[in-house]
Structures are given as structure tokens and as C-alpha cells.
Amino acid sequence: MHLEIKESVSNMKLKVLNIVICLFLAACSITSCLHSDEIEYEFSSNASITAFSITDSIVTYYPAVVNGKDTTLSTAIVGTDYPFVINQHEGLIYNPDSLPVGTDVSKVVVGITADTQGIYIVAETDSMWNEKDSLDFNNPIQFKVMSQIGTFGRIYTAKINVHKQDPELLAWQKMEGNFSTKIEKQKAVYLNNHIYVFGQQDGQTVVTQTETSNGKEWSEPVRVDTPVEADIASAMAWGSQLYILADNQMYTSQDGSTWNKVETNTPIQRLVANVYADKVQKIIGIDTDNHYIESLDGNIWEQYGEMPAEFPTSNLSFASYALDTNKDINRIVILGDNEEATDSITSSWIQLDSETAWTDLVAPEKSDACPRLENMTMIHYNNKLYLFGGSGQRNGAIKPFSNLYASMDNGITWETASAKIAFPEEFPTNYEESDGNYSCTVDDNHHIWIMWSKTGEVWRGRINKLGFDKQ
């Protein structure tokens, strides 16, 4: 009896144990199934700024003259017109194209995109950035981003670049130096980082030079060593050489000191212009029979038709530059005086380097025509043609060096340049004191050089934006 009871109890314990084990295994099985269906979230450690912009308009202040009085006006610029770049390697945020001079950046609203929403302004006490708050960017501002796991990424330094100078202003500098006061008639030529000035001194044709990196120290004027006196007006640079005429014969030099005769197949009356581009290199002249001639090497000259009677014969200025529509073709523009002309206006003559004919450009209206200026100079500069010089007539009297005239249509029409494109106030006096003798050239760094006879003054000017470094 006792034995049966004990066996029954033992059997019952085994059953209960089996049930417990089964329940445990079932529970484990259920737990395992649940785990297989769970989504595990892995939070990113990235914390970087991916975009930056000015989201609002900003006020720019600029000086102006209203009713004859100096005043300050303002205008609004659109912030999104000035994109920002982000240098992830160095943690820098900036606008490569600077905002106009006079722009107020003390209250700027910016938009920032980041990997997460936790963007902070770094200061003594960090504060969270608010997209609606304006910030003072007179000094750079630092930002950092908190990642999803609660760590901060790199610190970014954001700055808003503003021009310190008016980019459109033609700024001039007087180069204090030793340019000869004895040189009279002049012609300036730029070649290989040097300014060469050919002139007349003591009845001889001389040349003096300076490096463009200097501009203050000029060499002692030395005679151009040709058998007879060289023609100052014919001096020009072509390729890597200087060229000049003497008694209808061409001479060349690399440095302005040593000159060698060029063996040509025809006598040359005038050197008119040249082109030295990748696809075209030619020098242009007029022979002693008044025929248009051109050469690819300076030795062999091809003769074409007779030059028009109205073509400029003295005081020539030329410019050659590539077409906007085809960089392989160059446009040649020439201005100058003609003894037969009596009008108060002059005309530009134009040719494409793929042609041999010259076209006289006549403005539709006299009021838009090129004024006939005494001792005039034309340059191609800042993608425009500019003209200036002594006294003249167009819609009334023109005083020497009172204006620059600009042409946007390759010499057809001319208008007074903006007030920002002007000469120093000393130039009219310099013109008078030098008896109208000066010379001008433009170097590869967009500097305009003007040298004055008798006063010995040398001035260098450049439109500010042409000297700005791109960041």
C-alpha cells in the first residue's frame, strides 16, 4: 500500500516536471519567434552640414550723387544669387563670389541642411540654431551638428565674403619712378612682362623699358639701332618679338636693345595691326603702293587690293580678339586719323582674320558715332572697346581726358563709360603739360599703363574685379 502511494506520487512529480519542461521549451520557442520579427534600429554617427545658403534679401549701401549732392542709396540683393560651397575636409563654408561692396551682413538669415536636425552655434555657451533668427556675419560663425547617437561632428566655420572694393571701379595708382622726362612723342608696347616705350629724344628714336612687376624703375633710354631713324608709330609686338619700321624696312628685336633687319619681299609703308592666336598668326601692313599686305612669318608678304582712301593713315590704334561665337576666328578693329576727313566723328574699320577686305563701320546716328579725338587711343579691355584722348567734338566740345568712350558692338556705336570707369583728376593737366604726348598699353594682368611725356608720370589702372582672386 505504501509502496503504491509512493509510486503514484513519483509518477505525478515526473508528469509535472515534464509539463514544466514543455512549457519552458514552448516559451523559449515563442520568444525565439518574436525576436525573429523585431526591427533593430542602428543610429547614425554622421554629423555634417550638407548645404548652406542665404535665404533672405540683404541690403547693399552705395554712394551716389542726387541733385548735385553726395548721398548714400541702398538696394536689396537676393541672397540665393550667391551660392556657398562646403569644404568638408577643412570644415569651411563660404561664397566664392563675394557680395557687393557695402553689403550689410550684420543681420543675415541662413538656411542650413545637415544629416540631423541638431545644429548648434558654437560660442561660450552653445545654442541651438534657429532657421528664423538673423545672425551677424561681420565675423565668421562656427556651427556643429549633433549626430543621432548624441555625439557632435566637426566644427564648421562659415563666413560671408563681401568685396572690400567696388568690383566695377577703375582704380588708378601713380607709379613713383624714374621714367624719362626728356621723351617726347611716344608709343608703348607690351611684350613678355615688359613695358617698352618708344619715343623721340634729342632728335633720335629711343626706347626705354620696365618690368610690369615693377613699373617704377625704367631703363636709360637708348637709341633704336637702325641705319636711319625708326618710325615710332610703327612699333608693335608680335609673338615673342618687337617690330619697327625704318625707311620702309622692317627690323625686329627680342629686348629692344639689339635690332636685326628682316628680309622682306616688299617695302612696307606702315605696320597696321597683327593677330597672334592659336589658329592664326599674321602681321598686317600697307606697302609703298598703298596695297593691303599681310604675312605669316614677317618675311613673305602677300599683296591684296588697294586700301580705301578713307582708311586711317596716322595715329593708329588696333585691337584683335576672338569672336564670342567662334574662338578660332579673330576680329581686328582699327581707329585712326585720316588727312582727308573733316567731320567731327570718326569710324572704326573692321576685318575678320579669315578675310582680306576691310569694312568701314558707320553708326546709325551721329550722336552714337565715335568722336574724333586728338591723339586718340583705343584698347580692348574688359570685353569692350574703350576710346580716349585729347580734345574733340561730339554733341559739343570734349575736353582732353574728360571721358572714356565704350563700345559694346565692336566699334559701331560709342557711349560715355560709366562714372566708375574714369581717369584720375590729374590727367587733363598732364595732357596739357606734356603737349598731348603720352602712350598707353595693357598687360596680361589687365593693367592699363599710361606714360606722360615731360612730367615723367607713370600711372597704372585696373578694374578691380579683374584683379580679384577666385577662391
pLDDT tens by residue, 252-287: 999 999 999 999 999 999 999 999 999 999 999 999
pLDDT at 26 over 80: no
pLDDT tens digit sequence for 227-249: 999 999 999 999 999 999 999 99
Walk me through the domains of the chain, giving residue ranges and CATH numbers.
Answer: 49-158 (2.60.40), 170-467 (2.120.10.10)
**Confidence at residue 341, expressed as pLDDT on a 0 to 100 scale:** 66
Q: Does the pLDDT value for residue 9 go beyond 50?
A: no
46: confidence class by pLDDT, cuts 50, 70, 90: confident
Q: Name the residue with higher pLDDT: 469 or 319.
A: 319
Residue 226 has pLDDT above 50, yes or no: yes
Average confidence score pLDDT of the chain: 88
Q: In the prediction, which pLDDT does 45 show?
A: 62
Over residues 137-144, the mean pLDDT reads 96
pLDDT tops 90 at residue 44: no
Return the top range by mean pLDDT from 117-121, 360-364, 443-447.
443-447
Give the model's confidence band at 38: pLDDT under 50 very low, under 70 low, under 90 confident, else very high: low
Query: Taking 90 as the threshold, does the pLDDT of residue 448 lie above it?
Result: yes
Question: Given this model, what pLDDT does residue 42 score?
Answer: 53
354-366 mean pLDDT: 88
The mean per-residue pLDDT over the stretch 454-460 comes to: 96
Over residues 72-106, the pLDDT tens digits come to 888 999 999 999 999 999 999 999 999 998 999 99
The 3-state secondary structure of the chain, one letter per residue: CHHHHHHHHHHHHHHHHHHHHHHHHHHHHHHHHHHHCCCCCCCCCCCCEEEEEECCEEEEEEEEEECCEEEEEEEEEEHHHCCCEEECCCCEEECCCCECCCECCCCECEEEEECCCEEEECCCCCEECCCCCCECCCCCEEEEEECCCCCEEEEEEECCCECCCCCCCEEEEECCCCCCCCCCCEEEEEECCEEEEEEEECCEEEEEEEECCCCCCCCCCEECCCCCCCEEEEEEEECCEEEEEECCEEEEECCCCCCEECCCCCCEEEEEEEEECCCCEEEEEEECCCEEEEECCCCCEEEEEECCCCCCCEEEEEEEEECCCCCCCEEEEEEEECCCCCCCEECEEEEECCCCCCEEECCCCHHHCEEEECCCEEEEECCEEEEECCCEECCCEECCCCCCEEECCCCCCCEECCCCCCCCCCHHHHHHHCCCCEEEEECCCCCEEEEECCCCCEEEEEEHHHHCCCC
pLDDT at 222 over 90: yes
Query: What pLDDT, on the 0 to 100 scale, is given for residue 200?
Result: 95
**What confidence tens digit (pLDDT) does each residue in 170-196 have?**
999 999 999 999 999 999 999 999 999
Lowest pLDDT segment from 62-66, 327-331, 434-438, 453-457: 62-66
Q: Tell me the mean pLDDT in the region 313-340.
A: 91
